[in-house]
Homo-oligomer: A and B are copies of this chain.
Amino acid sequence: MVQIANENKTAYAILGLLNHEPLSGYDIRKRIDGSIGLFWDAGFGQIYPALKKLADKGLVEGKAEKSGGRPDKKIYRITEKGRKELEKWLVEPTAKEHVRYEILLKLFFGSLVDTERNIETIKEFRARYTGLLETLEGYERNLRLVLPKSQDHLYYLLTVRFGSHIYRAYLNWADEALEMLRNKATVPGDN
């Protein structure tokens, strides 16, 4: 056996962002927040060590940049070797989806708590995604405005549309679930 390849997907996410433009670790966090964070989040505790490793492997290069007043930035740019590595990963087979919904875990055991409590839990979920969907739709409107001028954003739009579909499904499920629980609550002789 040669080596069980170090398949750090978050490192590829960073590599992909750097392929578009040079960024500091701090900038990367902000970019993630406004784009891939929807389906692939990462904190500073992952980003800084990942950048260091990528630099060690020669996939990115970091340059310290003095900026009067503000703390110095370390701007990273992708290397030719990094681009090759990124392209190699992009055509490799894709891992299955990983999801973790604590709300469903609690709801699955919902018979142990008050129906009212479960209804509240779903209402909160519903409220949160109502707001998130609005934010997403703002992104989408902006993207559609620039799309005819540059098709660069087509793949970004694809992922935003994914979010839109999913969030709507969340809201539809929540409405349905609330109705099911309310009907249950009104059945006489029921706890």
Binary CB contact string for chain A from 78 to 120 against chain B (1 if under 8 A, 0 otherwise): 0000000011001100110111111111111111110001100
Residues 151-171 of A, flagged 1 when their CB comes within 8 A of B and 0 if not, give 110111111011001101110
Q: Any chain B CB within 8 A of the CB of A52?
A: no
Contact of A166 among B94, B117, B158, B166 (CB under 8 A): B166
B169 touches A165 (CB 8 A): yes
Q: Is the CB of A104 within 8 A of B36?
A: yes
Residues of B within 8 A of A170 (CB): 165-166
Check: A40 CB closer than 8 A to any chain B CB: yes
Q: Min CB distance, A157 to chain B, in Å?
A: 8
Cα–Cα, bound, A39→B105 (Å): 7
Q: How far is the CA of A9 from the CA of B108 in the complex (A)?
A: 13
Q: Any chain B CB within 8 A of the CB of A35?
A: yes
**A103 cross-chain contacts in B, Cβ below 8 A:** 94, 97
Chain B residues with Cβ below 8 Å from A176 are: 161, 165
Whether B166 pairs with A112 at a CB distance below 8 angstroms is: no
A180 within 8 A of B: yes
Q: Are B105 and A97 in contact (CB under 8 A)?
A: no
1/0 contact trace for A19-43 toward B, CB 8 Å? 1000000000000000110111000
A124 to B168, CA, bound (A): 23
CB<8 Å pairs between A and B, sample of 22: A13-B105, A16-B105, A16-B109, A35-B108, A36-B104, A36-B108, A40-B102, A86-B112, A90-B112, A91-B113, A94-B121, A98-B100, A99-B100, A108-B159, A111-B155, A151-B190, A161-B173, A161-B176, A165-B169, A165-B172, A166-B169, A166-B173
